[in-house]
Amino acid sequence: MKAKARTIRSILWAIIALTVMSSCNQQKDEENISSKAVHMKVDSRPVKAELTAPPFVPKPVGNRAPQKLIVDMEIIEEEGDLADGVRYVFWTFGGTVPGSFIRGRVGDVVEFTLKNHPDNKLPHNIDLHAVTGQGGGAEASFVAPGQQKTFKFKLINPGLYVYHCATAPVGMHIANGMYGLILVEPVGGLPPVDREYYVMQGDFYTKGKHGDPGLQPFDMQKAYDEHADYVLFNGKVGALTGDGRLTAKVGETVRLFVGNGGPNLVSSFHVIGEIFDKVYIEGGSATNYNVQTTLIPAGGAAIVEFKVEVPSNLILVDHALFRTFNKGALGVLEVTGEENPVVFEGEVLEGIYQPEGPTIQKVPVETVAEAPAKVLTKEEKMELGKKVYNTSCFACHLPNGEGLANAFPPLAKSDYLNKNVDKAIDIVLRGLSGEITVNGQKYNSQMPAQVLSDQEVASVLTFIYNSWGNNGTEFTEEQVRAKR
Ligand code: CU
């Protein structure tokens, strides 16, 4: 019996040792891949690389042999939307922010031609982090308007890499949108998935405040101070919401190629309502599993993968959340299909994590258990109302009721409030959405219903109507009760 137990034990040890050795070998393979890749044979017939605009990516490389890839990219300086009503002069690789997605495999030789459009005003270049060589190609590609430059490199390390302009002032060229991603797939290609998307974060600095309309010039001082007015996915507030939202069906596997152009801020990339089954950390070969939030450095990337199990609107965010709800870093991945109550069962409420710009979710205000039965005086309502306002309302409408341009209407001196006294209680109880005009400005945001007691509703409305130049209406608990 003893001998048998010993034999089993030896077999187990052998299995463990083999497993450890094979994972060590795998690691060695990864470490040595670049020296191997240098000598990989390349099919010398040139193939034009497929380039795609975000959020799309070119076809996977699959199991093909190394090729000679021809990449033609044009730099275009052009005015576009930073947000609805906010214009900005972007400098782009291929006409989009982020720039065109490039996809190859380890061992490919890339012949890269960079054109600088004749209508452009400035010289530019490209530094690709996937390049081993001087400046990542920056010197070799430095090109004046109306000119073009060609240089050549071999992809010797697999991974997801950032490219960017490196013309002085470098930070400014990047801040204006000059960055993108190049994917170098490993030997045999990445495992197949159902959906792949291209998302890249960047921070923007404008002369005006966030949301100030019209053409906004770049602000060098704010960029220097790292005070971003906009933090965006794919170069525009709402690029990945509404018609631009990403989509998937229940049961599918999704792979996001996520980059961060910076120039200044690191991204705490997170998808609300999902867990990353797998993360290629920093876009390299090491993988982590079951991750909530992954850090993406400025000038870095990550590949995240997950299977979508239930229908929902997954929200892509930088979990430094003021960037999401107040500076624009918010995207949506809409998952449609059959409910699966085994995985999730519960009420789906509108108004939580709304993609239409900065909004606040329902904040239940604790109702005092022994609420006074007596009717509050106006002064008492003002006092309670101010407290409620500072808990539930101020985040959107701001402490002095002035609102946020293009997002949240002002409550101060509000012609809308003063002529709609009848509607006010309804708005607090049930929320308000759709276009309204306040003091001559159009707003189209969504205010969620508020969870408040009758006394709190009467008090907060009394406070609002008796502050900031409004018409002094006083509200009572009975009025609120009647509207419930
Ligand atoms: Cu440039």
The answer to whether the Cα torsion of 162, 164, 166, 168 is positive or negative is negative
Q: What's the pTM value of the predicted model, to 2 decimals? A: 0.71
Coil, helix or strand at residue 401: coil
Measured in Å, residue 21 CA sits from the centre of ligand 1 at 47
Beta strands in 390-484 (DSSP E): 432-433, 436-438, 441-443, 446-447
pLDDT at residue 17, as a whole number: 61
Does a structural domain hold residue 63?
Answer: yes
Q: How far is residue 91's CA from residue 93's CA, in Å, rounded to a whole number?
A: 7
Q: Do both 206 and 163 map to the same domain?
A: no
Q: Do both 309 and 389 map to the same domain?
A: no
Q: Do both 199 and 325 map to the same domain?
A: yes
Does a structural domain hold residue 161?
Answer: yes
Does a structural domain hold residue 269?
Answer: yes
Does a structural domain hold residue 367?
Answer: no
pLDDT in tens, 51-98: 999 999 999 999 999 999 999 999 999 999 999 999 999 999 999 999
pLDDT at residue 398, as a whole number: 74
Does a structural domain hold residue 479?
Answer: yes
Measured in Å, residue 165 CA sits from the centre of ligand 1 at 5
Measured in Å, residue 61 CA sits from the centre of ligand 1 at 29
Question: Which residues of the chain fall below pLDDT 70?
Answer: 1-5, 12, 14-28, 349-351, 354-373, 391, 394-396, 406-407, 446, 448
Q: Do both 129 and 174 map to the same domain?
A: yes
Measured in Å, residue 280 CA sits from the centre of ligand 1 at 29
Q: Do both 50 and 175 map to the same domain?
A: yes
Measured in Å, residue 142 CA sits from the centre of ligand 1 at 9
Length of the chain: 484
Measured in Å, residue 111 CA sits from the centre of ligand 1 at 20
Q: Do both 316 and 211 map to the same domain?
A: yes
pLDDT at residue 355, as a whole number: 44
pLDDT in tens, 196-240: 999 999 999 999 999 999 999 999 999 999 999 999 999 999 999
Measured in Å, residue 219 CA sits from the centre of ligand 1 at 16
Measured in Å, residue 178 CA sits from the centre of ligand 1 at 6
Q: Do both 202 and 142 map to the same domain?
A: no
Q: Do both 147 and 235 map to the same domain?
A: no
Q: Do both 111 and 241 map to the same domain?
A: no
pLDDT at residue 452, as a whole number: 83
pLDDT at residue 25, as a whole number: 64
Q: How many domains does the chain contain in total?
A: 3
Would you state the structure tokens that stand for residue 484, as one six-digit string? 């419930």
Q: How far is residue 484's CA from residue 315's CA, in Å, rounded to a whole number?
A: 32
In this structure, are residues 91 and 131 in contact, taking their beta carbons and an 8 Å threshold? no
Domain with 471 in it: 378-483
Does a structural domain hold residue 81?
Answer: yes
Residue that is last in its domain, among 286, 305, 336: 336
Q: Do both 143 and 201 map to the same domain?
A: no
Q: Cα dist. 300→135, 254, 293, 314, 405 in Å?
A: 16, 20, 15, 23, 33
Does a structural domain hold residue 12?
Answer: no
List the CATH number of the domain containing 427. Answer: 1.10.760.10
41 φ, ψ (degrees, to nearest 5):
-70, 140
Residue 484 amino acid letter: R
Measured in Å, residue 95 CA sits from the centre of ligand 1 at 13
Reference 76, options 176, 200, 205; nearest CA is: 176
Measured in Å, residue 77 CA sits from the centre of ligand 1 at 9
Measured in Å, residue 396 CA sits from the centre of ligand 1 at 37
DSSP H helices, 240-373, are: 322-325
Residue 10 amino acid letter: S
Residue that is last in its domain, among 336, 362, 397: 336
Measured in Å, residue 125 CA sits from the centre of ligand 1 at 6
- Cis status of the peptide bond prior to 54, with omega within 30 of 0: no
Measured in Å, residue 332 CA sits from the centre of ligand 1 at 30
Measured in Å, residue 157 CA sits from the centre of ligand 1 at 25
Residue that is last in its domain, among 185, 218, 239: 185
Measured in Å, residue 296 CA sits from the centre of ligand 1 at 23
Does a structural domain hold residue 200?
Answer: yes
Residue 279 amino acid letter: V
Measured in Å, residue 139 CA sits from the centre of ligand 1 at 12
Coil, helix or strand at residue 28: helix
Measured in Å, residue 101 CA sits from the centre of ligand 1 at 17
pLDDT at residue 203, as a whole number: 98
Measured in Å, residue 284 CA sits from the centre of ligand 1 at 26
List the CATH number of the domain containing 169. Answer: 2.60.40.420
* Cβ partners under 8 Å of residue 75, min gap 6: 91, 92, 93, 114, 115, 116, 117, 120, 124, 143, 165, 178
Q: How far is residue 15's CA from residue 28's CA, in Å, rounded to a whole number?
A: 20
Q: Do both 173 and 216 map to the same domain?
A: no
Q: Do both 384 and 418 map to the same domain?
A: yes
Q: Cα dist. 436→42, 406, 417 in Å?
A: 62, 11, 11
